[in-house]
Amino acid sequence: MTDRGKIDSLRLPVNGPGSSFSELLEARKPDLLPERDVKGHVEVPEGTTVLALRYAEGVVVAGDRRATEGFQIAHRSIEKVFAADDMSAVAIAGAAGPAVEMVRLFQTELEHYEKVEGERLTLEGKANKLSQMIRANLPAAMQGLVVVPLFAGFDENREYGRIFKYDVTGGRYEEDDYHATGSGGKDARGSLKKRFHPDLTRDEAIKCAIEALFDAADEDVGTGGPDLMRGIFPTVAAISSEGLVEVPEDEIRALFEEVISERGGEVRGPESHPVDVRRPGEEG
Amino acid sequence: MPMPYYVSPEQLMRDKADYARKGIARGKSVIALEYSDGILFMAENTSATLHKISEIYDRIAFAGVGKFNEFEQLRIGGIRLVDMKGYAYSREDVTAKSLANAYSQTLGNIFTSEVKPYECEILVGAVGEETASNELFHILYDGSVSDRTGWVAMGGASDQLNEYLENHYTKDYPKSVPDLKASVAMGHDALKTVEERDLTAEGLEVAILDRARARRKFRRLPAADLTKLL
């Protein structure tokens, strides 16, 4: 009768897993934890571009909808921006399967802690927890299953939005203004760099995010632009002291249409190409 | 070696039950009422941090009376159980029925096989799509479960509270159940009448399972909101 936890799962051993859900799984159902000991190299669908930027009242997180597998499109409407809880979001880039699993564990971890302790973890605490989870994924990352999320949320103690980026070892770096990651991350960052300023309003920040994703999709084959034919648009969430709100699809669609009409005039089509190119049909 | 005195099983169980009942009767009470948009839980509790009422899962809430450390242990155990189940399968697979069953098994085992039974009673409530599909499971110190409708009172003054609610709660369940304001008033009046003194919003712990909310239906009503409702 020394280990009561084994006899009856509703009774708590004093030295049990406390308020951490992943420690609980480790103790009771380790098979449910993500596989860490991966051998060999595997090809899986990859999520591409996600970004986050701060605005006056909080932070905006956005991501395109494409998953690729080599040069193939693996999925056209994958979700990459997830609410971690009411006050924060994770945006995933890299191996989609392990990333989505990591997000699910992270979400459960935060909710479990909140319910057991009666209060939410601080934003700092959440960011550190995610960092540990990425570090635990390092052996899998060495075999090609790299997961590098962006984490952003509203810090209720400091009363402003914060953005954290990670490296594959779980290294955690806070960004002051904006960050983008994934295959189109560099292009999105370039776009954000030109448009970002610290006093953006919510609407301006969302427009900034949309333009950055548009620019990334323009330059990077892995990043999906707005799919007008199927009605698939990137996902955007805004987090302020009021909590996380997903930006409605209509608003995102309208903003893309705005970007297209604004830029349409600047784009030169093939007709106006300066080089004299003759098409077969025009001959003679 | 001296032989222990023989005690008949009947006597043993009766003694344990008396012991548990006495412990529970010393504590404060909790009531639950089904209202038009969900389930209301109300308790007299001067502590803002040591809760009698808490969230278990999306649609499920927990209330406990009696010894705090004992029902707190059951509460955390319950959260662990449902979070693991929801993670392994899906969120919809977590049901109040299976949780109530697990609690019942645990309390039953403790009651029969341990020297000291738990001095607590618990309530597992789950809000459904409509009033008729709400669930309220009342689990006693010995593991016996009852499936209740409309209202439940447990704890120190449960007999008087049950009588009060029997007389005041609608007879036309589930067709016409009171709205939130009316049920808060009813719960408040019940506690006031039984305790024979005035209870302010600060001295009450109130939470709801509100079916209009998004995924997580549980919400505490802070004293400010409660004052407006009273």
Ordered DSSP codes for B185-217: HHHHHHHHHHHTS---GGGEEEEEEETTSSS--
pLDDT at site A260: 92
Type and span of the H or E element at A125:
helix A123-136
Chain B: closest CA distance from residue A10 (Å)? 4
Question: Is some CB atom of chain A closer than 8 A to the CB atom of B81?
Answer: yes
Using a CB-CB cut-off of 8 Å, the residues of chain A touching B105 are 8
For testing contact with chain A, the best of B83, B110, B111, B112 (most A CBs within 10 A): B83
Say whether B77 and A11 touch across the interface (CB within 8 A): yes
* pLDDT surpasses 60 at A283: no
Quote ipTM for the complex.
0.93
pLDDT at site A3: 45
For testing contact with chain B, the best of A1, A10, A25, A82 (most B CBs within 10 A): A10
Kindly state whether residue B81 falls inside one of the protein's structural domains.
Answer: yes
Chain B: closest CA distance from residue A256 (Å)? 28
Domain A41-261: CATH class, spelled out = alpha beta
A8 to chain B: nearest residue by CA? B106
Q: What angle do CA B19, B24, B25 make, to 5 degrees?
A: 95
Which residue type sits at B121? E
pLDDT at site B230: 85
* pLDDT surpasses 60 at A4: no
* pLDDT surpasses 60 at A1: no
Using a CB-CB cut-off of 8 Å, the residues of chain A touching B84 are 24-25, 28-29, 32
B76 to chain A: nearest residue by CA? A116
Report the SS3 class of residue B19: helix
pLDDT in tens, A48-59: 899 999 999 999
Q: Measured between CB atoms, which of B56, B80, B87 is closest to A9? A: B80
Judged on CB neighbours under 10 Å (0-12, 13-18, 19+), A84 is buried
Tokens standing for residue A26: 């480790």
Instruction: Give the number of domains in chain B.
Output: 1
**Rounded to whole angstroms, what are the CA distances from A89 to A106, A214, A240?**
11, 21, 11
Q: B residues 106-125 near A, CB within 8 Å? A: 106, 109
Kindly state whether residue B101 falls inside one of the protein's structural domains.
Answer: yes
Are A255 and A264 contacting, i.e. CB atoms less than 8 angstroms apart? Answer: no
pLDDT in tens, A25-37: 988 888 888 877 7
pLDDT in tens, A92-145: 998 999 999 999 999 999 999 999 999 999 999 999 999 999 999 998 888 888
Ordered DSSP codes for B129-192: SSGGG-EEEEE-TTS-EEEE-SEEEEETTHHHHHHHHHHHS-SSTTTS---HHHHHHHHHHHHH
**A-B C-beta contacts closer than 8 Å:** 55
Query: Average pLDDT for residues A257-263, to the nearest whole number?
Result: 92
Q: Measured between CB atoms, which of B49, B76, B109 is closest to A8? A: B109
Kindly state whether residue B8 falls inside one of the protein's structural domains.
Answer: no
d(CA A51, CA A49): 7
Are A55 and A210 contacting, i.e. CB atoms less than 8 angstroms apart? Answer: no
Report the CATH number that the domain containing residue B73 is assigned in CATH.
3.60.20.10
Smallest CA-to-CA distance from A103 within A137, A67, A142, A77 is with: A137
Reported as a pLDDT band with limits 50, 70 and 90, residue A230 is: very high
* pLDDT surpasses 70 at A271: no
Query: Average pLDDT for residues A251-257, to the nearest whole number?
Result: 94
Its domain, for residue B75, covers: 28-225
Reported as a pLDDT band with limits 50, 70 and 90, residue A272 is: low
Q: Which residues of A are catalytic?
A: 48
Q: Measured between CB atoms, which of B55, B87, B106 is closest to A10? A: B106
d(CA A32, CA B4): 48
Q: Measured between CB atoms, which of A24, A32, A118 is closest to B80? A: A24
* pLDDT surpasses 50 at A201: yes
What letter does residue A104 receive in the DSSP assignment?
H
Number of helices and strands in chain A (H, E): 8, 14
Say whether A116 and B76 touch across the interface (CB within 8 A): yes
A117 to chain B: nearest residue by CA? B76
pLDDT at site A83: 97
Q: Can you list the residues of chain B whose pLDDT is less than 50? A: none
**Rounded to whole angstroms, what are the CA distances from B179 to A63, A269, B127, B184, B217?**
42, 64, 15, 9, 17
Smallest CA-to-CA distance from A163 within A241, A81, A51, A246 is with: A51
What letter does residue A239 receive in the DSSP assignment?
E
d(CA A276, CA B217): 66
Using a CB-CB cut-off of 8 Å, the residues of chain A touching B83 are 21, 24, 108, 111-112, 115
Q: Measured between CB atoms, which of B54, B56, B84 is closest to A24? A: B84
Q: What whole-number percentage of chain A has pLDDT above 70?
A: 89
Say whether B87 and A104 touch across the interface (CB within 8 A): yes
Chain A: closest CA distance from residue B164 (Å)? 32
Are B211 and B127 contacting, i.e. CB atoms less than 8 angstroms apart? Answer: yes
Are B175 and B132 contacting, i.e. CB atoms less than 8 angstroms apart? Answer: no
Using a CB-CB cut-off of 8 Å, the residues of chain A touching B102 are 9-10
Q: A residues 20-49 near B, CB within 8 Å? A: 21, 24-25, 28-29, 32
